[in-house]
Amino acid sequence: MKLEWMGDHRELIEKIIKYGNAYSNTYKLQRSYGTDMMFSASQIQTLEYILEAEDKEEKMSEMAARLGVSRSTFSKNVKNLTEKGLLEKYHLSGNRKDIYVKPSANGRVVYAQYTEFVRELCFDDIFRLAGMISEADKESFIRIMDLFADVLVWYGEKEQEPRKLIKIDPNRE
């Protein structure tokens, strides 16, 4: 059956789906990624966002939303990274409720090793190709990916009501 509703965009959607499937198959697998420590892609992304936001004093819930993961997933990653010595937890004086996390010195070292490994593994090629397209095309691609991610996040959080067959009462028709 030809999927005509996608028009000329079938190949683009196919590649986005292929990437999503490949990523979901490796998202939680523990790997060394060129370091002497095992962690998942989910955990390293958490560390990356914490490194990016360390000057902003963002709350964990704000970082989770920016990353597009649930607060519980983000909290689990923070717990694992803290246990591995890659993160440190803080709270503001007078406010023990809001938790802030910062990278440890070892977290910075491990992240630097990780980035060198993945840059050589795939990002050098990605950056080379991305350098060949216009800024407008990059912005369009970013917007496409953002729209797709927003729908997936929304749909994943949406309460799904189970559908049931309800017998029709012939006396009420």
Q: What is the CATH number of domain 11-156?
A: 1.10.10.10
Contact 68, 149 (CB under 8 A): yes
Contact 117, 33 (CB under 8 A): yes
Asked if pLDDT for residue 138 goes beyond 70, the answer is yes
pLDDT tens digits, one per residue of 100-120: 889 999 999 999 999 999 999
At residue 136, the pLDDT reads: 97
Domain positions in the chain are 11-156
- Backbone φ and ψ of 137, nearest 5°: -65, -40
Cα-based torsion angle of the residue sequence 104, 98, 154, 103 in order, rounded to the nearest 10 degrees: -10
Q: How many CB atoms lie within 10 A of CB 76?
A: 15
pLDDT tens digits, one per residue of 58-74: 878 888 888 888 889 99
Secondary structure (3-state) at 22: helix
Q: What share of the chain is helix, strand, coil (3-state, %, to 5)?
A: 65, 10, 25
